[in-house]
Amino acid sequence: MNIEIQNQSFILHHYGAIFWEKKSILLISDVHFGKVSHFRKHGIAIPNDAISENFNRLDFLLDEFQPKTIIFLGDLFHSTKNTEWKLFANWTKAISQKIILVKGNHDIIDELLFEVLNIEVVPELIIEEFILTHHPLENNTLFNFCGHIHPGIKLRAKGKQFLNISCFFRKPNQMIFPAFGEFTGNFYLKPTKNDLVYGITSEEVISVTIN
């Protein structure tokens, strides 16, 4: 889906990423690398294929948009280093894009380890009329791109039918990104008349009508 914010064009992808066309930047939030391995270590039966799925999606997006820069809006890793760190390190070495991490509350791995991989770590980032953070930020002058919440929405229809989906949740001066990673869960928000919701299906992003 193509949308416009602050007179700039953005492409919303159903993998939960946004491509900023003018800047050739791919924006992604809440990958939570290491979460699958963390759960499996503690006996929770999550398919190991979920680890490769995150990398497969990233590779697809890089091939699709050919961005110059990737900006992760926090919670790139779920916790401390585990077996997925080596996979991530190898992935970063195989791509040509500049990587920036806007630090999130789960990003507790030593920043020096990211620097070794040529990843810049920042608390927040301002680009033109936009401020990029992990936690949602109220700002009267800059439009906020953020993550953290893992937004979802509950859709209801006649006959007591319902569907829960992830979404991009847009407030008048803010866009909250869905979680990119597998097995991250959603926090279901109730939009107001001033909000816009872009629901994520398995094949596309759709506008959700708010009643």
Where do the domains of the chain lie?
2-208
Q: Give the other-Cβ count within 10 Å of 101's Cβ.
A: 23
Report DSSP letters for 97-137, one per residue.
SEEEEE--TT--S-HHHHHHTTEEEES-EEETTEEE-SS--
pLDDT at 96: 96
pLDDT at 147: 96
Residue pair 30/73 in contact (Cβ under 8 Å)? The answer is yes
The arithmetic mean of pLDDT across residues 185-210, rounded, is 88
The arithmetic mean of pLDDT across residues 15-28, rounded, is 97
pLDDT at 33: 86
CATH architecture designation of domain 2-208: 4-Layer Sandwich (3.60)
Residues 6 or more apart in contact with residue 138 via CB below 8 angstroms: 144, 173, 174
pTM beyond 0.75: the answer is yes
Residue pair 74/176 in contact (Cβ under 8 Å)? The answer is no
List the end-to-end C-alpha distance of the chain, in Å, as a whole number.
Answer: 22
Q: What whole-number distance in Å separates Cα of residue 187 and Cα of residue 148? A: 10
pLDDT at 70: 98
Token pair 């803010």: residue: 174
Q: How many residues does the chain have?
A: 211
Taking the mean position of all CA atoms in its chain, how far away is CA 177?
5
pLDDT at 84 over 50: yes
Mean of the per-residue pLDDT values of the chain: 88
The arithmetic mean of pLDDT across residues 107-126, rounded, is 93
Residue pair 170/207 in contact (Cβ under 8 Å)? The answer is no
Q: What whole-number distance in Å separates Cα of residue 137 and Cα of residue 104? A: 13
pLDDT at 181: 79
35: its two tokens: 């979460």
pLDDT at 138: 87
One-letter amino acid identity for 156? R
pLDDT, tens digit, for every residue of 117-173?
A: 999 999 999 999 999 999 999 888 999 999 999 999 887 766 566 778 899 999 999
pLDDT at 182: 65
Percent pLDDT > 70 in the chain is 86
- In the chain, what's the furthest Cα-to-Cα distance? 56
The arithmetic mean of pLDDT across residues 188-202, rounded, is 91
pLDDT at 45 over 50: no
pLDDT at 49: 65
